[in-house]
Structure 1
Amino acid sequence: MEKPYVITFPKLGDSNVGYISVAELEKSVPFEVKRIFWTYFTPENIIRGRHAHYHTQHVLIAVNGQITITAEMPGGDIHRFVLSTPEQGLYIPPCVWPTMQYSHHAVQLALASTEYTESDYIREYARFKEVWKK
């Protein structure tokens, strides 16, 4: 089973003119992007995520602020990541239960491998544990 991992995008420029990071989708992102969404103005005391997917893969990028991500694998292994620079993204494969907590003013950009389909979501933790123990 594939584990979440950090992707580092190129960081071009310097402090005098600013920076740009580029994701060349066939080189940087391990899937064809079908959907892009972003989250913002999330209060610091709110934990988002709390669901898994049967098929969807994601790359999460903190384009502003800091995002702490906890990714639970089906077998119970837990991986923690902190995204705090816009030239890094976190690959999240299917079958992972992530939670995200955001700093004040954090903006998260998400690239997804599928279009939105409610049937791809596992929204109850007990169901996640049941599905993947088989």
Structure 2
Amino acid sequence: IKLPFGVATPWAYKQWRDSLEVPGLLYAPQSTPWGELRNDLERPVFAKYPVLGLLKARLLNAPGVTAALMSGSGSTVFALLEEDADTAPILRAVEDEAGEEYLSFDTRIFSAQEPVDISA
């Protein structure tokens, strides 16, 4: 989910050392089949742009979501979903938090062992 503003990466890194966690948001590493995911830049960015932290929280509470994090220094937040998850309630949660102005992309991850049919 990409919101209609950017976050300067140099700013996020400069703020990181003195940043504090926003109470009520999950910052702990999240386990996935590919290892643990975490983003230390969430602390300063969520403090300045609360909508990103709230969006992550809404995604984590949506049905079918197994993990959610901010990507890089923001303003993109992504979610990992169960294979058969319905994206409609997830996008409704996004609109409830962020409004209607955002970009979303539905992508799939395939392992090297799985044959991939790209003809569909």
Q: Normalised by the size of structure 2, how large is the TM-score?
A: 0.26
Higher relative contact order at CA 8 Å, sep ≥6: structure 1 or structure 2? 1
Give the number of the structure whose residues are more often strand, by fraction.
1
